[in-house]
Amino acid sequence: MPRVSAWFVRAALCHLVLGFVIGGLLLASKGVPLGFDPWPLRPIHIELLLVGWMIQLVMGVAVWIFPRFVLRLKPQRSAVTAWLAFALLNAGVLLVSAGLLAAGRLVEIGAAASFAIHLWGRVSPAGLSDI
């Protein structure tokens, strides 16, 4: 798979583990007292798993497996948009997890836009790829 996809997938795996560990703490706290309150971590749990894991994995796999005819036309721009999506998505997850919700979401919207720009031309049937 392309290097950027490998980074997407590896980052997604990191978010998966961290998100599940926090989720495990939240669930355990419903059964026994843990000695601390893990519930302020709930928004981070959701952010890590929804954006950091699922959305990130989908982006990484899409960059890997979608048709690549268009990449030959503008390889540099394609690489830049994919890497930018990766950087912005992870920066957004960090910002939201740090409590900077609005800033984080704006950065994530930038990631989504960059990802869409990257993938848009690749969503095409074979032979009709000159868009």
Decide if 51 contacts 101 (C-beta within 8 A): no
Q: Would you count residue 3 as binding other proteins (CB under 8 A)?
A: yes
Q: Would you count residue 2 as binding other proteins (CB under 8 A)?
A: yes
CA distance 115 to 26: 32
Classify the phi-psi angles of 98: left when phi > 0, otherwise alpha if psi is within -120 to 50, otherwise beta: alpha
* Residue of 30, 37, 40, 130 interacting with other proteins (CB under 8 A): 30
Q: Would you count residue 32 as binding other proteins (CB under 8 A)?
A: yes
Classify the phi-psi angles of 127: left when phi > 0, otherwise alpha if psi is within -120 to 50, otherwise beta: left
Considering the complex, state which of residue 65 and residue 131 has its C-beta at the smaller distance from other proteins. 65
Element (H, E) at 35: none
Residue range at the interface with other proteins (CB under 8 A); choices 25-33, 93-101, 104-112, 116-124: 25-33
Q: What number of chain residues touch other proteins (CB under 8 A)?
A: 26
Residue range at the interface with other proteins (CB under 8 A); choices 15-23, 71-79, 99-107, 120-128: 15-23
Question: What are the angstrom distances between the C-alpha of 92 and each of 12, 39, 70?
Answer: 14, 21, 28
Q: Would you count residue 82 as binding other proteins (CB under 8 A)?
A: no
Q: Would you count residue 26 as binding other proteins (CB under 8 A)?
A: yes
Q: Would you count residue 49 as binding other proteins (CB under 8 A)?
A: yes
